[in-house]
Structure 1
Amino acid sequence: MDDFHNLFKIFLAHGIYDVVISPGSRNAPLIKAFVEHENFNLHSIADERSAGFFALGRSLHSKRATILCCTSGSALLNYAPAVAEAFYQGVSLIILSADRPEDLIDQGEGQTIRQLGVYGGMIKWEAEIRVQELSRRSMNERLINEAVLHSEAGKPGPVHLNVPLDEPLYGIAKVEERQPQIIAQTDYQTKVGPSSLERLSHVWKTSERPMLVIGQSDEAWLGLENLKQQHPGLVIMTESLSNTEEIGTVAYLDRVFMPEMELVAPDLVIYLGGHVISKKIKAYLRALPDLKVWRVHREDYLQDTFGALTEDLRLADSEFIRILTSFEPKANSDFSASWHHLNEKTLELHQEFINRLTYSDLWVFNQILSTPMQDSVLHFANSTAVRYAQLFERPPGVRYYANRGTSGIDGCSSTAVGFASRSEKNNLLITGDIAFLYDLNALWNEAFPPNLKIVLINNGGGGIFRFIHGPEKVPQYQRFMETHHKISAEHLAKAFGLNYFKSENQEEWQSHWDLFQACDGATILEIVTPRAENAEILRDYFNFLKK
């Protein structure tokens, strides 16, 4: 048998140190090799679904791949939700799955499934390492190099290495030390050729109403200020998860867009960053006739989000911003003025409504996001929490994160735990009750980060099903869609050793919020809000903005 101890030196040579191990027996030789190396950061998480999202959180922070190691059988199926999120959000993961030998597949052997291809089209690359064939030593080394390079090249994403292992799994003698082959790679940088540059420049020059839409991103957005100064007539639309400087942009799209409004439509839309949360802007742009759309991205596939794609630009965002800044300046126009006026007017109405707001989800979000949190990180669970964040200014010096690759409620807490475990900053997770309960094993972590605190907004069910139109027409929707419940987190917090506070009204809020902030270590603040009133207040809010 080849020696994993030497093979895993390749990960270290590439600067891959984070390893999340899901305990098992078939992966014992892999665990042994990781433990033998002092330079790996090892984490043991029994629940594979939680482990997958924990690894995702660590990769989000480090911007490098994290290794997930599991036993054979259904174990790697439980990584699938995190794998899908990593694929669509663009996060590096390396799944290392132990397996039975090929001759035992489909033969009634325990913990044995068809593991190759299990993730379908949701991974960038996949291969199988056969360590018990010494003739494949060079190939095995190449495959581990490839796994790292594929996971981080272009748009990052998950890769899968499957490792069939025959018994014995324990007591295997270590082979002699050797230095495996290390393969470096210089990622290509796509350049826009002269003919393409001329075509883009012409479309830009003839456009009278250009709009830039920025989706989810953790970019530093270097050059964006220069772009604003060069093109004051360019309307820049951002969301809370864009993490951009909001001065000079039209932010908080769900606050600005109202179906009945007559808006001055763009004739050119340029789309940067990841997924856009707002359904309103997507519906608005999809309905526009004669629209041109440029998509700037590093995907391996076309992405025509607004149904009017004319240019598919495989470029880094910073490179495209540099190119756009060099184009003929766009002066202020009635188009840009109308959008900025709408943004300002909506902000005035928003503030007027907030000033007379009563205790509710919306009131709670206003209180939290009005609190100074300089140099902190906020994580939002799907689906209601991240949508409420769309309505409020992002506190200065704060970065926002949420799992918007697939936008599921699974793993929101585990991702925040993984991120915070690598972060030196204060981290705050804002979650609803259903997302919190669904990912409860996020709290089952041997080294739960003390710098993570959780605000749990408990409105007794999936509140989003009271906000959107339609669910109330389904028989027993409260049971089968809203998932109404009466569960409190008090004893759950105690079981996992977390501090706990609870607020059920406006009077209790302030004292408990102050205690929550001052408390040392991991803490949960459960805020109980009125289930029925929340939806009514939010509907009143949007109706008020229509003025």
Structure 2
Amino acid sequence: MNDLHYTNERQILILISLLKAYGIRKIIASPGATNVTFIGSVQQDDFFEIYSCVDERSAAYMACGLAIECGEPIVLTCTGATSSRNYLPGLTEAYYRKLPILAITSTQLTERVGHLIAQVIDRSTAPNDTTQLSVYLPIIKDENDVWISQLRINQALLALKRHGGGPVHINLETSYSCDFSIKQLPKAHVINRITVHDEFPTFPDGNVAVFVGSHKIWTKEETEALDRFCSSHNAVVFCDHTSGYKGKYRFLSALVKAQYYNQPLLPKIETLIHIGEVSGDYYTLGISANQIWRVSEDGELRDTFKKLHYVFEMPEKVFFSHYTTSKAGDDSFLNLCKKAYDKTYNHIPDLPFSNIWIAQQLAPRLPEYSVIHLGILNTLRSWNFFEIPTSVLSYSNVGGFGIDGGMSSLIGASLANPNKLYFGILGDLAFFYDMNVIGNHNVGHNVRIMLVNNGRGTEFRNYNHMANMFGNDADTFIAAAGHNGNKSKSLVKHYAEDLGFEYISASSKEEFNIVYSKFLQTEITNKPILFEVFTDSRDESDALQAVSTCLKSAKNELYEKMVDTTKKMLGGSSKTASAIYHKLKS
């Protein structure tokens, strides 16, 4: 026995480590082979108090009695086969009495379910009134499995006492390892949930930023609370056009974070406060921070950045007000961010005629107090590079992140305020997918739609997209090129005019500059307007590459010269040159 310690199965080591971190020590064990790796490990650790019960039905009821008497969470552990089914009566009792019982049911590989393998049953669902939460812990194969295991265990252990408490289920996969040689548990990552009734943790030192995903309309009081917080912590608010935040500390971060060569423009963040929902700003989602504090009334563990430390289950205004101090006036971080943006913007070269170029021209010129809806994905990314007037509200369907309803959302929103202008910018696949909505007889004269028609899903032809390795072959199926009239100059024109729209179009910068003022005119005209802009996917890709590489070091420029020289020597093969470039860079 002296040579036996903990199992080498990492998912079990993390589970045991977190049980100890949460102070959960009482275990009622039922016999079996599938839970040997778990029970064989905890019985070597004198932190745990372990009791034996052969009958799993009795074990679950014992846990109920022990939990109510000592006021602590109680762990149940059993093997495979029907053992876990015998927990159900006791877990039902625990559910209706809100008793913190953690049922850990060990299992063979779950892919064996349904294949007539002995002692393998399907535990993927449980009766609604037997558990607050059920999670599955697979055998760990890589670091992503480590992350998801830690996250799920934290979710499970927090759920034992959440909203009054109740039973929780962990389905624990095992490989039946016979290696019990691990002498020290890993230091597992603990995530804490804080409610308004709990003691708030001390706010850490170091640089602070707030990341806002898509967000409901801000009230004046919410904006002021965030502004006061930022003022007292020298913080900045990373935004995109779905964030909705228009306060003093707004920083449209995508252009700076997109820079391939110069990421150190911004300092390392110690604490990132994460609010809002899904974000389409992929560049800022890659931000580096030592720890993440999530603030949301739902209280769920949304570990977007994989460094979640705290979840504050409360309104954002309550959180920001609590951590606002009397110290104020230092805006050096905000000023640094603004300088980084200005420096990057001033280095943007003359861009090809593209969605990004259009955004650069129109974003600052949008009429005051108008609303803009941006399509997924190229359009939203393009417009996130450029700031819009403070009074303009902006939205995108980043919840489901599909192309299927952007125009319908625009039309629906426009019905709320017939005297306000509503703009929509969409690519051709998104437009044709949702085109039936502009035939609705409720479409008002306050609607302005821009169709950026490059004849395909240009996302898949971008220089940095994996599908670009197929070259022109990507068009056939992946980018779905050639549909919907294949950039017909008359198809949308006739459709729009027959539906009562005023139609304008442009195929070049010169044509665009002649007609765009009609699209932006501040008065509501006697017809809605549809502006079709014809671009080329190569120009779209080149524009994205240009705007993402505005700032280059001397070393990077040397690399590019070497690649250009090699490209000429090889007869202009862009694929070969790109491969050589990345080889040189690495």
The amino acid that maps onto 2:465 is H
Matched, 1:509 2:515: no
* Distance in structure 1 (CA, Å) of the matches to 2:232 and 2:512: 46
Higher relative contact order (CA closer than 8 Å, sequence separation 6+): 1
User: Does structure 2 conserve the Cα–Cα contact (< 8 Å) formed by 1:250 and 1:340?
Assistant: no
Q: Following TM superposition, by how much is the alpha carbon of 1:270 offset from its aligned partner in structure 2, in angstroms?
A: 0.9
CA deviations over 1:363-409 (Å, ceiling 9, x no partner): 21112113141110011111111111110012231000111111110
The amino acid that maps onto 1:224 is L
Matches within 5 A, 1:410-429: 410-424=404-418, 425-429=420-424
Matched, 1:463 2:493: no
Give the corresponding residue for 1:498.
501
The amino acid that maps onto 1:229 is S
* Distance in structure 1 (CA, Å) of the matches to 2:303 and 2:443: 40
> Per the alignment, in what secondary structure is the counterpart of residue 527 of structure 1?
strand
Q: Following TM superposition, by how much is the alpha carbon of 1:341 offset from its aligned partner in structure 2, in angstroms?
A: 2.6
User: Does structure 1 conserve the Cα–Cα contact (< 8 Å) formed by 2:360 and 2:383?
Assistant: no
Q: Following TM superposition, by how much is the alpha carbon of 1:337 offset from its aligned partner in structure 2, in angstroms?
A: 4.4
Give the corresponding residue for 2:544.
538
> Per the alignment, in what secondary structure is the counterpart of residue 450 of structure 2?
strand
Q: Following TM superposition, by how much is the alpha carbon of 1:465 offset from its aligned partner in structure 2, in angstroms?
A: 1.5
Q: Following TM superposition, by how much is the alpha carbon of 1:295 offset from its aligned partner in structure 2, in angstroms?
A: 0.7
* Distance in structure 1 (CA, Å) of the matches to 2:444 and 2:292: 43
CA deviations over 1:392-451 (Å, ceiling 9, x no partner): 012231000111111110100001001101123110111111100111111131211221
The amino acid that maps onto 1:402 is S
Larger radius of gyration: 2
Question: Quick one: which of 455, 469, 474 aligns to 1:473?
Answer: 469
- Give ranges in structure 1 of 5+ residues lacking alignment: 1-189
* Distance in structure 1 (CA, Å) of the matches to 2:272 and 2:340: 23
* Distance in structure 1 (CA, Å) of the matches to 2:240 and 2:493: 34
The amino acid that maps onto 2:476 is R
Matched, 1:267 2:270: yes
* Distance in structure 1 (CA, Å) of the matches to 2:408 and 2:429: 14
Q: 1:383 to 1:294 in 2, by over 3 A?
A: same
User: Does structure 2 conserve the Cα–Cα contact (< 8 Å) formed by 1:237 and 1:250?
Assistant: yes
> Per the alignment, in what secondary structure is the counterpart of residue 206 of structure 2?
coil
The amino acid that maps onto 1:282 is L
Q: Following TM superposition, by how much is the alpha carbon of 1:494 offset from its aligned partner in structure 2, in angstroms?
A: 2.9
User: Does structure 2 conserve the Cα–Cα contact (< 8 Å) formed by 1:373 and 1:396?
Assistant: no
CA deviations over 1:330-358 (Å, ceiling 9, x no partner): 785xxx8467435413323313425x334
User: Does structure 2 conserve the Cα–Cα contact (< 8 Å) formed by 1:254 and 1:278?
Assistant: no
Question: Quick one: which of 214, 217, 225 aligns to 1:216?
Answer: 214
The amino acid that maps onto 1:212 is V
- Give ranges in structure 2 of 5+ residues lacking alignment: 1-193, 554-586
Q: Following TM superposition, by how much is the alpha carbon of 1:545 offset from its aligned partner in structure 2, in angstroms?
A: 3.2
* Distance in structure 2 (CA, Å) of the matches to 1:438 and 1:213: 32
The amino acid that maps onto 2:231 is Q
User: Does structure 1 conserve the Cα–Cα contact (< 8 Å) formed by 2:454 and 2:535?
Assistant: yes
Matched, 1:388 2:382: yes
The amino acid that maps onto 2:515 is H
The amino acid that maps onto 1:482 is A
Larger CA deviation: 435-444 vs 480-489: 480-489
Give the corresponding residue for 1:119.
none
* Distance in structure 2 (CA, Å) of the matches to 1:313 and 1:300: 6
Q: 1:357 to 1:258 in 2, by over 3 A?
A: closer
* Distance in structure 2 (CA, Å) of the matches to 1:242 and 1:191: 24
Q: 1:320 to 1:357 in 2, by over 3 A?
A: same
Q: Following TM superposition, by how much is the alpha carbon of 1:191 offset from its aligned partner in structure 2, in angstroms?
A: 5.9
Give the corresponding residue for 1:529.
535
Q: Following TM superposition, by how much is the alpha carbon of 1:530 offset from its aligned partner in structure 2, in angstroms?
A: 2.6
The amino acid that maps onto 2:373 is H
Give the corresponding residue for 2:177.
none
CA deviations over 1:439-473 (Å, ceiling 9, x no partner): 11111312112211101111121122222321112
Matches within 5 A, 1:158-177: none
Question: Quick one: which of 426, 434, 442 aligns to 1:431?
Answer: 426
Larger CA deviation: 383-392 vs 519-528: 519-528
Matches within 5 A, 1:441-456: 441-456=436-451
Give the corresponding residue for 1:256.
257
Q: Count matched residues.
A: 343
Matched, 1:278 2:273: no
Give the corresponding residue for 2:137.
none
* Distance in structure 2 (CA, Å) of the matches to 1:345 and 1:302: 32
Matches within 5 A, 1:294-443: 294-299=293-298, 301-325=300-324, 327=325, 329=327, 332=330, 337=332, 340-353=335-348, 356-424=350-418, 425-443=420-438
* Distance in structure 2 (CA, Å) of the matches to 1:317 and 1:460: 43
Give the corresponding residue for 1:89.
none
* Distance in structure 2 (CA, Å) of the matches to 1:322 and 1:338: 20
User: Does structure 2 conserve the Cα–Cα contact (< 8 Å) formed by 1:216 and 1:275?
Assistant: yes
> Per the alignment, in what secondary structure is the counterpart of residue 413 of structure 1?
helix
CA deviations over 1:16-73 (Å, ceiling 9, x no partner): xxxxxxxxxxxxxxxxxxxxxxxxxxxxxxxxxxxxxxxxxxxxxxxxxxxxxxxxxx
CA deviations over 1:66-116 (Å, ceiling 9, x no partner): xxxxxxxxxxxxxxxxxxxxxxxxxxxxxxxxxxxxxxxxxxxxxxxxxxx
Q: Following TM superposition, by how much is the alpha carbon of 1:238 offset from its aligned partner in structure 2, in angstroms?
A: 1.8
Two-structure CA RMSD over aligned residues (Å): 2.6
> Per the alignment, in what secondary structure is the counterpart of residue 415 of structure 2?
helix
User: Does structure 2 conserve the Cα–Cα contact (< 8 Å) formed by 1:213 and 1:271?
Assistant: yes
Q: Following TM superposition, by how much is the alpha carbon of 1:496 offset from its aligned partner in structure 2, in angstroms?
A: 2.5
The amino acid that maps onto 2:205 is S
> Per the alignment, in what secondary structure is the counterpart of residue 267 of structure 1?
strand
> Per the alignment, in what secondary structure is the counterpart of residue 357 of structure 1?
coil
User: Does structure 2 conserve the Cα–Cα contact (< 8 Å) formed by 1:252 and 1:392?
Assistant: no
> Per the alignment, in what secondary structure is the counterpart of residue 285 of structure 2?
helix
Larger CA deviation: 305-314 vs 508-517: 508-517
User: Does structure 2 conserve the Cα–Cα contact (< 8 Å) formed by 1:273 and 1:317?
Assistant: no
Q: 1:196 to 1:219 in 2, by over 3 A?
A: same
Question: Quick one: which of 186, 192, 196 aligns to 1:192?
Answer: 196
Give the corresponding residue for 2:227.
225
Q: 1:318 to 1:300 in 2, by over 3 A?
A: closer
> Per the alignment, in what secondary structure is the counterpart of residue 431 of structure 1?
strand
Q: Following TM superposition, by how much is the alpha carbon of 1:491 offset from its aligned partner in structure 2, in angstroms?
A: 2.2
* Distance in structure 2 (CA, Å) of the matches to 1:315 and 1:414: 33
User: Does structure 2 conserve the Cα–Cα contact (< 8 Å) formed by 1:270 and 1:294?
Assistant: yes
* Distance in structure 2 (CA, Å) of the matches to 1:357 and 1:246: 30
Q: Following TM superposition, by how much is the alpha carbon of 1:282 offset from its aligned partner in structure 2, in angstroms?
A: 2.4
> Per the alignment, in what secondary structure is the counterpart of residue 346 of structure 2?
helix
The amino acid that maps onto 2:267 is V
Q: Following TM superposition, by how much is the alpha carbon of 1:264 offset from its aligned partner in structure 2, in angstroms?
A: 2.8
User: Does structure 2 conserve the Cα–Cα contact (< 8 Å) formed by 1:240 and 1:252?
Assistant: no
User: Does structure 2 conserve the Cα–Cα contact (< 8 Å) formed by 1:296 and 1:316?
Assistant: yes
* Distance in structure 2 (CA, Å) of the matches to 1:445 and 1:360: 30
Q: Following TM superposition, by how much is the alpha carbon of 1:507 offset from its aligned partner in structure 2, in angstroms?
A: 2.0
User: Does structure 2 conserve the Cα–Cα contact (< 8 Å) formed by 1:255 and 1:390?
Assistant: no
CA deviations over 1:473-494 (Å, ceiling 9, x no partner): 2472112122222144212213
Q: TM-score, normalised by structure 1?
A: 0.58
* Distance in structure 2 (CA, Å) of the matches to 1:411 and 1:508: 29
> Per the alignment, in what secondary structure is the counterpart of residue 387 of structure 1?
helix
User: Does structure 1 conserve the Cα–Cα contact (< 8 Å) formed by 2:356 and 2:383?
Assistant: no
* Distance in structure 2 (CA, Å) of the matches to 1:307 and 1:358: 37
